[in-house]
């Protein structure tokens, strides 16, 4: 069950990477409905999303070239 109230766990990050691998990079939404952590923790999770996007964006650019 997704409560939108806990940190993102590694299997979900892996799933995001797999989705980018299969379908290309697309926007992702980081959602918290309660148990909102300090802003620094949210920025860290947003940074993880950006890193995964960059990893798969760079990989697709190499395939196209």
pLDDT at 42: 94
Instruction: Say what the pLDDT of residue 1 is.
Output: 55
pLDDT at 61: 60
Residue 60's pLDDT is what?
66
| pLDDT for residue 62 | 56
Helix (H, G, I), strand (E, B) or coil at 51: helix
Give 49's contacts (C-beta < 8 A, 6+ positions apart): 16, 28, 30
Low-confidence ranges of the chain (pLDDT < 50): 65
Q: What is the pLDDT, as a whole number, of residue 3?
A: 76
Longest Cα pair distance anywhere in the chain, in angstroms? 44
**Measured torsion, CA atoms of residues 62, 26, 8, 3, in degrees rounded to the nearest 10:** -160
The interaxial angle of helices 10-23 and 39-64, nearest 10 deg, is 30
């Amino acid at each position: 069950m997704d409560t939108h109230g806990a940190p993102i766990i590694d299997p979900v990050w892996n799933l995001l990477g797999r989705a980018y691998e299969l379908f290309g990079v697309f926007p992702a939404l980081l959602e918290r409905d309660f148990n909102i952590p300090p802003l620094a923790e949210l920025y860290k999770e947003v940074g993880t999303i950006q890193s995964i996007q960059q990893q798969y964006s760079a990989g697709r650019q190499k395939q196209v070239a």
